[in-house]
Amino acid sequence: MRLHDVWEVEAELPEGATLDDLEAELRRGRPPAAAAGLYAVRRALAPLLDRGSEGFVPVYLEPAERLYRIENRTVTALLHVVLVDRRARVAVYVTPHGVLGRVYLALIEPFRRFVVYPSLVRRAEASATALARAGSTGPGR
C-alpha cells in the first residue's frame, strides 16, 4: 500500500474527548453543497464500482486511534485516524486495482484534494471547536 494522503485538524479536541465524540459531532452537520454533490455522484456509481464491498469496515476502534478498511473493484484502502496532541490526524493508504483503479484515482484526484478533504477537515475543526465549547459550558464548569 502507498501512503496517499495525510491531513491534520488544527483545532484541538478538549481533554477527555475521544474520536467517538468527534465522529458523532461530525455526523450532526451536513457537508457543504459541493462535497454533498460529489458524494451523490459517487453513490450513483456505487453499483458499478463497489460490487462486493461493504464500505468502510472498522479494523480496530480505540478512543484515540482507529483504522478502517475498504475493498472494491477500484481500490483497497485504509483510513487511519489518530489523536496526536489532542489533534486528529488522518492518513489514507491506497492500492489501486488494475487499470480501472488507476483511472478512477486519477479522475477523482482534483475533487478529493480540493473539495472533499478540505471540507472534511473544516467540518472536523468546527466539530472540535463545538466539543470544546460544549465542554467549557457544560455542567459543573
- pLDDT single digits (tens) 11-60: 999 998 999 999 999 888 788 888 888 888 888 888 888 876 788 899 99
Model-level pTM greater than 0.75? yes
- pLDDT above 60 (res 98): yes
- At residue 18, the pLDDT reads 93
Q: How confident is the model at residue 65 (pLDDT cuts 50, 70, 90)?
A: very high
- pLDDT above 50 (res 139): no
Question: Residue ranges of the domains in the chain?
Answer: 2-133
- At residue 10, the pLDDT reads 93
CATH C-level class of 2-133:
alpha beta
Where helices occur in the chain by DSSP H, the ranges are 19-28, 33-49, 98-111, 117-137
- At residue 140, the pLDDT reads 38
- pLDDT above 60 (res 86): yes
- pLDDT single digits (tens) 105-137: 999 999 989 988 898 899 999 999 999 888 754
Element (H, E) at 14: none
**How is 106-135 classified by DSSP, letter by letter?**
HHHHHHIIIIIHHHHHHHHHHHHHHHHHHH
